[in-house]
Amino acid sequence: MKIALAQLNYHVGNFESNTTKIISHIHQAKQQGADLIVFAELCVCGYPSRDFLEFKEFIGLCEEAAKKIAAECHGIACIIGLPTYNHRPAGKELNNSAYFIENGEVKAVVNKALLPNYDIFDEYRYFEPSTTFKCIDFKGHRIALTICEDLWNTIDNPLYMTRPMDVLIKEKPDVMINIAASPFSYNHDEERIDILGDNASRYKLPLLYVNQVGAQTELIFDGGSLVFDNQGRLIDELPYFKEAVTYYDLETKSDLKPLQPATIQKERQRNIEQIHQALILGIKDYFYKSGFKSAILGLSGGIDSAVVCALACEALGPQNVMAVLLPSRFSSEHSIGDAEDLVKNLGCKSETIPIRHVTEAFENTLHPQFQNLPFNIAEENIQSRTRAVILMAMCNKFGYILLNTSNKSEAAVGYGTLYGDMCGGISVIGDVYKTQVFELARYLNREREIIPENTIAKPPSAELRPNQKDTDSLPEYDILDPILMQYIENRCSSGEIIKMGYDEQTVRRVLRLVNMAEHKRYQTPPILRVSPKAFGMGRRMPIVGKYLS
C-alpha cells in the first residue's frame, strides 16, 4: 500500500481554499500512484476554529466541503479531519472527527478521544470525547487511526484515564496513522519525536504522523511530520515551516519505507533558528490570511524595533515595510543614525517625523492641569502615545498594519505604555525575552551586518528622558529573564525561585511587577507564540488577583 502524507497550510474558515487545496493534492497523489493520502486534524475548517464551532452554518459548510472532497476521491482513499455532530443523546454537540473516504463515500468515522484542555487548547469546550475505538480495513491492511492527543497519554504523568491504542491494538492493526494540529514552541519538536517514537516501540507498529503547517493568528504550526518503523526508530522527518508531500510503501508492519530520500535532521536546530523561522511564518500568514500586504512600525534605533523591522522585511519584502523614525527631544544622535543605517541595510521604505512640537503642544495644553508638578512618567508616556497616534494615522490613511515591537521581558513587567508602544495589530517578539532578542539580532547578522553593531552593543533605553537606561527601572536582563522564565514558563513560586539562588528582594520585586502588569497585557495585540508558555490565550490570569502580588 502506497501512502502519501500531505503537510499543508490551511486557513481557518476558508472552506473554498482548504477544499481546493485538499482536492488538488488528492489528484496529485493519485497521479503518483498513491492508494491513500492523509491530511491533518480539522483540515477542512482549519485549526483552531474556536467559537466558529458554535455556528450551525459553520458545521454545515464543513460537511458540504467533505462531500465535495469525497466526490473527487475515486481510485484513491483519503483521510481528512473535520468537526461532526455528536448523534448520541448526551454530551457536547460536536466531535473532533476524521473521515476515511474511499470510492466517493465516507467508509469510516473516527472521533478523537483525548481532548486537550490546557494552555492554548480548549477542545473540551466544544467536543465530546470518543469512548469507542475501531480499526479500519483497507487494501489488505488494518489501520489504527487516531487524532493528535490520542497518542500523547504515554507520558509518566498521564493526563487522561484511557489510551485509545490500548484498545485498538487488540484488533491487531498493521500500522498507526495519527493526524494532528500540533502548535510550535521552540522545545516541542524533540518532545514530539520522543512521544511518538515511544508509541511505535510500545505497540510494535509503524507510525505515520501528519501535522499541519502555517500560522493562525498567534498560533504557529511548524509541520515536521514524522514517520517511525515498528521499533520506534525515526525513518523520515518532513520539513519544518513549509508545505510538503511525501510517499511511503507499506508491505507489512515490519516493512515500511520512504519512497523518496529521507530527510531526518542530523542535528536539532538551535532554539533561536527555530524562533526565527517561526516568526517569519507567523508574520507572513498573519498578513496573507488577513488580506493585508504592508506593515508599518516605529523605528527607534533600539534593538527591538530593529529586529522586528528586519523580520518584517524578510517575511513581506522590504518594499512592503514602512519604518517611521519618530525622534523626540530626548532621542540621541546615535540612535537616529543607527535607525537610518538599518533602513539602508534593509532597503525598506522610511519616513522621519519629529514629535517634539506635538508633545510640547500636549504639555502646553495640560500645563494648567499638571499644576507645575515635576516632569515624570506622564510626560514620558505622552511621547510614546504621540508616536502611536502618528503610526495609527498612517495605518488609517494607507492601509498598513502596525507591528508591535515590545519584547516578552518588557511585556512581563509592564515596561511599556498602554496605547503607546504597546499598541499594534500583531506583536512580533512579544514571546521573545530580551536576551533572546540579542541572540536573534546576532542570528540575523549571520551572513552580513543587517542590525547595526552599535544597536546591539549599546545599553537598552526607551529614551523618554535624559540619559535613561532600562536598568534604571529593571534588573539587568541576564538576571531578569531567568527569573521571568522560572515564573512564567515553569510556574515556580517566589519561594522556589529564591531557593535556586536568586536574590530574594529581586525575585519578589519582579514577580510583583509581573502580576501588577496583567491589566496591560490584557489590552495588547495578539502575540506570536514561540515558547511553551506565551502571554495571550495560553496564560489566563486574573487582573485583580492578590496571589503573588
Instruction: Please pick, among 45, 62, 148, 423, the residue that the annotation labels catalytic.
Output: 148
Q: Cell numbers at residue 349, please?
A: 521604505
Q: Are 426 and 525 in contact (CB under 8 A)?
A: yes
Instruction: Please pick, among 112, 253, 284, 434, the residue that the annotation labels catalytic.
Output: 112
In order of 46, 48, 56, 62, 501, the CA distances from 52 in angstroms are 11, 9, 9, 11, 47
Give the containing element (helix H, strand E) for 210. strand 207-211
Question: Is it true that the peptide bond before 261 is cis, omega within 30 degrees of 0?
Answer: no
Rounded Cα distance between 138 and 34, Å, is 13
Q: Is 148 a catalytic residue?
A: yes
Q: Are 37 and 24 in contact (CB under 8 A)?
A: no
Q: Is 135 a catalytic residue?
A: no
> In Å, how far from its chain's centre is CA 338?
30
Residues with Cβ within 8 Å of 74's Cβ and at least 6 positions away in sequence, in order, are 103, 104
In order of 3, 301, 357, 376, 472, the CA distances from 382 in angstroms are 61, 19, 12, 10, 19
Q: Is 45 a catalytic residue?
A: no
Q: Cell numbers at residue 516, please?
A: 501588577
Q: How many residues does the chain have?
A: 549
Strand order in the sheet with 255-258: 105-111, 94-102, 77-85, 36-38, 2-7, 244-252, 255-258
Annotated active-site positions, please? 41, 112, 148
